[in-house]
Chains A and B, each alone.
Chain A
């Protein structure tokens, strides 16, 4: 019989060991599953975990894929830290992209890249507004934010679908649901490397990530706002005694996470698609939840977690191309990884004790 005994303080060792150990366990289970399914397990592992790093342009593709995950994940981190369960980032991503797209398409001839500041801000506003709905319902009427934010994902998906097939449809698209292409000023360009040219899709949007991660780190660790969020999440009673306004914290974290999801939406569309289409997000909002947890709700962790998840996604594509393994295996990996990771979190707070009998 196993029992758990609380540790006096969170184990420092486990903070490092737990994520590594969970990856090792995940790989082990992955080996078992692939062997069982009749695939060469070693080659599969090579394709999923190593092949994405085998060429410089593949590595840059990892960064491109990780970019929205890290941005959304950082926003979700704030929510989850304060025990606010925003699982509607997918919808906030879409609404951010949509509002920014609307503004971009309203100025069809603009060329200056300063315009991006406007569209990115619009994306923030769009995402934040969408997150404001669960925020206000939760704080004023005590409505469960998990369900509201999730329902709003479906509403957002249908809404962008309606807009792109109706009001914003390009008349020259032969009835196909595409908006006009964005003006030059609303596009995020690929980064040219001297002597090499472009590396895959690597674009300037990635710079936002390198800006965001340190800012988020300072906010969480060095400011009063970050402190309040931590306290509200880990010790709600203490937060109450300290006089922190619970409602305003909840609204703030939801607005921030919605806004960041919206910004991710703008960057994704402006850099990689260049026009609005019915589908602009591809589950980034949901995958980012895992990224936030895998990153142990810390900005630097989320940076790495985003890269790991992006690697698995690209690796699964490679495994499919070379070995014909169905792409759904990524879900399997993400799920198992999350399970072990969460277990690791428990081990941080508790010691295991083996006891005889009951």
Chain B
């Protein structure tokens, strides 16, 4: 009897839901449909959360004129291809794929849907309907280096990196350049977490850095765990991707915030005006959009927990980068084995940044791999 009832029940359930589905799709209006693909959930408080904030800005700006679909926790592989294709099939007109590993899946699907626009974040391959966008994260790290150099008492900086890829190494080197500009005696130790996101492991790495004598910590991983440990142990650190001062009100010196919102809004606006394009940069790094502090894609949160003179130095570095007066990777650049990378008077170009597989002076150890 129970079984019979369940059967009838599920039958009714199905028919109602089918009906519901048909009706709801028939009455759908004509707002611009926008899709987002996330690597993790916004609960990482870091990378994906920054994209979520960008998406919220989009929703606020366009209101009823757009309809946003989000897929979280999409692994970088065949699942991504399927999810992106599904978003395209569901009529999304522009799809933002927000992790490097979505590069090939995005290109693959883009070929099948020439009328849909794709925005791949942090990639370097483009096509007729795939644009790329990225942020000059390293600019914020230079300022972190300046503040760290002035704040450290032990002259030991602990740095937690996710993976030894060019993007992270360029951040470490930019940090070292900032550090060197104010404090020649301080040096950076790097621990690779080999994960973007494992709060317990990041916390362990932070504890080890502190135990080894570091008093200022920096991270290129996603969770706020490092700052929480710094807060508990009287050390200092920097927020990653989003403002993490809620997790570490006394320890966060400032945060480098990834501000995707304006970029998203600009691209969606272009689409609605029929002016969307992939830019005309060369088909390799730096991509058509590689914005930093100047273009507001990287935002520096307020300087806190530091004396006024340090905040002033930090502000000077920020202004210098904004005005172009400071070129972070200007020669002479010497790597930490003493080899000259580039002589005085010259500077590394964007392409050279993406080939970095060495540490500059001020960083201990050697790039793995």
Direct A–B touching, Cβ under 8 Å: yes
Q: Which residues of A contact B (CB under 8 A)?
A: 21, 24, 27-28, 31, 41-43, 45-46, 50, 55, 57, 61, 64-65, 158, 161-162, 165-166, 169, 174-177, 200-201, 268, 272-275, 277, 279-280, 282, 314, 317-318, 320-322, 324, 326-328
Known: A317-B86, A321-B83. 13 other contacts (CB 8 A): A24-B6, A24-B7, A31-B13, A64-B78, A166-B368, A175-B355, A273-B78, A279-B77, A279-B101, A280-B77, A318-B86, A322-B69, A327-B72
Interface flag for B71 (CB, 8 Å): yes
Q: Which residues of B contact A (CB under 8 A)?
A: 3, 6-7, 10, 13-14, 16-18, 20-21, 41, 69-73, 75-79, 81-83, 85-87, 89-90, 100-101, 104, 124, 163-167, 169, 194, 285, 354-357, 368-369
5 nearest CB pairs, A to B: A175-B166, A272-B78, A46-B17, A166-B369, A42-B17
Q: Which residues of A contact B76 (CB under 8 A)?
A: 277, 279
Q: Which residues of A contact B71 (CB under 8 A)?
A: 317, 320-321, 327
Q: How far is the CB of B92 from chain A (nearest CB, A)?
A: 9
Consensus secondary structure, chain A interface = helix
CA distance A45 to B21 in the complex (A): 12
14 contacts across the A-B interface (CB closer than 8 A)? A45-B14, A45-B17, A165-B368, A174-B354, A175-B165, A175-B355, A177-B163, A200-B82, A201-B81, A272-B78, A277-B76, A280-B77, A320-B72, A321-B69
Q: A277-B76, A321-B90, A326-B72 are in contact. Are A175 and B356 (CB under 8 A)?
A: yes
Nearest-neighbor residue (CB-CB) of B12 within chain A: A42
Nearest-neighbor residue (CB-CB) of A55 within chain B: B89
Q: Which residues of B contact A24 (CB under 8 A)?
A: 3, 6-7, 10
Q: A27-B10, A274-B104 are in contact. Are A176 and B77 (CB under 8 A)?
A: no
Consensus secondary structure, chain B interface = helix
Q: How far is the CB of A284 from chain B (nearest CB, A)?
A: 10
Nearest-neighbor residue (CB-CB) of A49 within chain B: B14
Q: A175-B166, A321-B90 are in contact. Are A45 and B13 (CB under 8 A)?
A: yes
- A46, B85: Cβ atoms closer than 8 Å: no
- A272, B81: Cβ atoms closer than 8 Å: yes
Q: Which residues of B contact A322 (CB under 8 A)?
A: 69
Q: How far is the CB of B109 from chain A (nearest CB, A)?
A: 10
CA distance A52 to B286 in the complex (A): 39
Of B21, B83, B101, which one neighbours A43 at CB under 8 angstroms?
B21
- B20, A272: Cβ atoms closer than 8 Å: no
Q: Which residues of A contact B89 (CB under 8 A)?
A: 55, 57
Q: Which residues of A contact B124 (CB under 8 A)?
A: 174
- A282, B72: Cβ atoms closer than 8 Å: no
CA distance A31 to B285 in the complex (A): 49
Of B70, B85, B167, which one neighbours A175 at CB under 8 angstroms?
B167
- A174, B285: Cβ atoms closer than 8 Å: yes
Q: Which residues of A contact B78 (CB under 8 A)?
A: 64, 201, 268, 272-273
- B16, A177: Cβ atoms closer than 8 Å: no
- A175, B77: Cβ atoms closer than 8 Å: no
Q: Which residues of A contact B73 (CB under 8 A)?
A: 327-328
Q: How far is the CB of B330 from chain A (nearest CB, A)?
A: 22
Q: Which residues of B contact A21 (CB under 8 A)?
A: 3
Q: A24-B3, A176-B166, A324-B70 are in contact. Are A42 and B86 (CB under 8 A)?
A: no
Q: Which residues of A contact B355 (CB under 8 A)?
A: 174-175
Nearest-neighbor residue (CB-CB) of B35 within chain A: A321
- B369, A317: Cβ atoms closer than 8 Å: no
- B101, A277: Cβ atoms closer than 8 Å: yes
Nearest-neighbor residue (CB-CB) of A181 within chain B: B104
Of A41, A174, A277, which one neighbours B166 at CB under 8 angstroms?
A174
Q: Which residues of B contact A176 (CB under 8 A)?
A: 100, 165-166
Of A46, A175, A272, A324, which one neighbours B354 at CB under 8 angstroms?
A175
Q: How far is the CB of A22 from chain B (nearest CB, A)?
A: 12
Q: Which residues of A contact B14 (CB under 8 A)?
A: 42, 45-46, 50
- A321, B369: Cβ atoms closer than 8 Å: no
Of A50, A55, A165, A272, which one neighbours B164 at CB under 8 angstroms?
A165
Nearest-neighbor residue (CB-CB) of B195 within chain A: A161
Q: Which residues of B contact A31 (CB under 8 A)?
A: 13
CA distance A249 to B124 in the complex (A): 51
- A177, B165: Cβ atoms closer than 8 Å: yes
Q: Which residues of B contact A324 (CB under 8 A)?
A: 70
CA distance A216 to B253 in the complex (A): 62
Q: How far is the CB of A106 from chain B (nearest CB, A)?
A: 20
User: Which of B18, B78, B101 counts the most chain A CB atoms within 10 A?
Assistant: B78
Q: Which residues of B contact A279 (CB under 8 A)?
A: 75-77, 101
- A201, B166: Cβ atoms closer than 8 Å: no
CA distance A317 to B71 in the complex (A): 7
CA distance A211 to B76 in the complex (A): 29
Q: A165-B369, A282-B75 are in contact. Are A326 and B17 (CB under 8 A)?
A: no
Q: How far is the CB of B18 from chain A (nearest CB, A)?
A: 7
Q: Which residues of B contact A317 (CB under 8 A)?
A: 71, 79, 82-83, 86
Q: Which residues of B contact A318 (CB under 8 A)?
A: 86
User: Which of B16, B101, B167 counts the most chain A CB atoms within 10 A?
Assistant: B101
- B77, A43: Cβ atoms closer than 8 Å: no
- B194, A158: Cβ atoms closer than 8 Å: yes
- B77, A273: Cβ atoms closer than 8 Å: yes
- B16, A42: Cβ atoms closer than 8 Å: yes
Q: How far is the CB of B283 from chain A (nearest CB, A)?
A: 13
Q: Which residues of A contact B72 (CB under 8 A)?
A: 320, 326-327
Of B83, B86, B369, which one neighbours A169 at CB under 8 angstroms?
B369
Nearest-neighbor residue (CB-CB) of B122 within chain A: A176
CA distance A273 to B78 in the complex (A): 6
